[in-house]
Amino acid sequence: MTDDAKDETRSVEPARDPKDASGREVGRPVEEPYRSLIPQRTGLAGMLAPAGGFGVTISNFFRPTVTEQYPSESARTKPRYHGRHQLNRYADGLEKCIGCELCAWACPADAIYVEAAENTPDEQFSPGERYGRVYEINYLRCIFCGLCIEACPTRALTMTNEFELAGPTRAGMIWEKDDLLAPMRSGMLAAPHPMVEGTTDTEYYRGEVTGTTDDQVAWVTEHRPDDPTLPANAGPEPVQTIGATAAAQYARNAAATKQGSK
Ligand code: SF4
Ligand code: SF4
């Protein structure tokens, strides 16, 4: 068969009818009218339905109005509010941070910087081999997601309810270890000092260390006789040291509270 004959054969194929027997165009999706799956209310129930929709709004008309008097009065947060971070201590005053950097790796905003150093017999800051020598959190970057505290293997890092962290300078928004360390509680000895005799870091992690021992007090007395956290030098209140950044922030907060209460 020649090419011309083939073309002739194709041209005589019957043309397809674009519509089926019911008259619907072939290939076009069936368009069905919209039908709600929610049972429709009728009668009186249907008439009262709009009032039911406003039920929450109407019920709030009769509740007492709550107006926060912030900043003249501190605003209360929920107990689990994610505020400023805190680096915790064990009951004898040693630091919980072991400088592992897991918090920094977990941080999606790259807001944490950690540098670890080796503990030595003369400078034991935390139980185990290493401690966090440098610890910084950049609050210009932090989004308070809490992933860092989830990553911390020793519960060294937690978050407080403090939210007043605004400041006038960029440098002032970087909180360092001194700013973040938890306050000293009564009976704690400031690090560095040796671990409780005969214990390992595992006993510390398990919470089996509940305070300082006479040997630790003797060691600090020998190496830092003027240390204000020694029982012999202690006053009625535990000694608190605070970093310069945190001190400046608290001073600003106090001034703002005073101004707001005028
Ligand atoms: S709370 Fe989130 S953003 Fe802030 S330092 Fe921790 S991991 Fe980073
Ligand atoms: S705060 Fe926790 S996670 Fe971060 S370096 Fe210290 S021990 Fe590791």
Q: Give 206-225 pLDDT, tens digit per residue.
A: 999 999 999 999 999 999 99
pLDDT tens per residue across span 108-141 = 999 999 999 999 999 999 999 999 999 999 999 9
- Report the chain's mean pLDDT, rounded to a whole number: 88
Residues 125 and 204: beta-carbon distance below 8 Å:
no
Indicate whether 69 pLDDT > 90: no
Strand ranges for 40-186 from DSSP E: 85-87, 112-118, 130-138, 157-159, 174-176
pLDDT (mean) for 242-251:
92
Instruction: Quote the tokens at residue 175.
Output: 């909180």
Rounded CA-CA distance 18/26 in Å is 6
Range scoring the smallest mean pLDDT among 26-35, 39-48, 200-209: 26-35
Report whether pLDDT(9) > 70.
no
- Is 92 annotated as a binding-site member? no
Alpha helices in the chain (DSSP H): 3-11, 43-53, 55-60, 102-106, 147-151, 177-180, 201-205, 214-223, 244-260
High-pLDDT (> 70) share of the chain, %: 87
Residue 14: band (very low, low, confident or very high) from pLDDT cuts 50, 70, 90? low
- Does the beta carbon of 109 lie inside 6 Å of ligand 1? yes
- The pLDDT value recorded for residue 13 is 52
More confident residue, 175 or 21: 175
Mean pLDDT of 89-98: 97
How many whole angstroms separate alpha carbon 158 and alpha carbon 252?
Answer: 24
End-to-end CA distance of the chain: 105
Read off the pLDDT of each residue in 91-103 and give the average, rounded to a whole number.
97
Among protein residues, the one whose CA lies closest to atom 8 of ligand 2: 100
142 is an annotated ligand-binding site residue: yes
Q: What's the rounded Cα separation, in Å, for the pair 160 and 21?
A: 74
Ligand 1: does its nearest atom lie under 6 Å from the Cβ of 144? yes
**140-156 average pLDDT score:** 97
User: Hey, which of 86, 148, 158, 174 would you mutate to test ligand 1's pocket, going by the most ligand atoms within 8 Å of its Cβ?
Assistant: 148
pLDDT bucket at 20, cuts 50 / 70 / 90: low
Q: How many helices (H) and strands (E) are present in the chain, helices listed first? A: 9, 5
Confidence of residue 25 (pLDDT cuts 50, 70, 90): low
Fold designation for 85-260: Alpha-Beta Plaits (3.30.70)
pLDDT band per the 50, 70, 90 thresholds, residue 254: confident
- The reply to whether ligand 2 has any atom less than 6 angstroms from the CB of 112 is no
From the CB of 100, is ligand 1 less than 6 Å away?
A: no
Q: How far is the CA of 94 from the centre of ligand 2 (A)?
A: 14
Torsion of the alpha carbons at 223, 225, 231 and 234, rounded to the nearest 10:
-130
107 is in an annotated binding site: yes
* DSSP code of residue 193: -
CB 260 within 8 A of CB 70: yes
Whether 84 shows a pLDDT value over 60: the answer reads yes
| Structural tokens at position 184 | 């000293």
Amino acid at 22: S
Confidence of residue 1 (pLDDT cuts 50, 70, 90): very low
The answer, yes or no, to whether residue 241 has pLDDT greater than 50, is yes
To the question of whether residue 247 is assigned a binding role by annotation, the answer is: no
- pTM for this model (two decimals): 0.76
Ligand 1, atom 6, lies closest to the CA of 148
| Contact 116 CB / ligand 1 (< 6 Å) | no
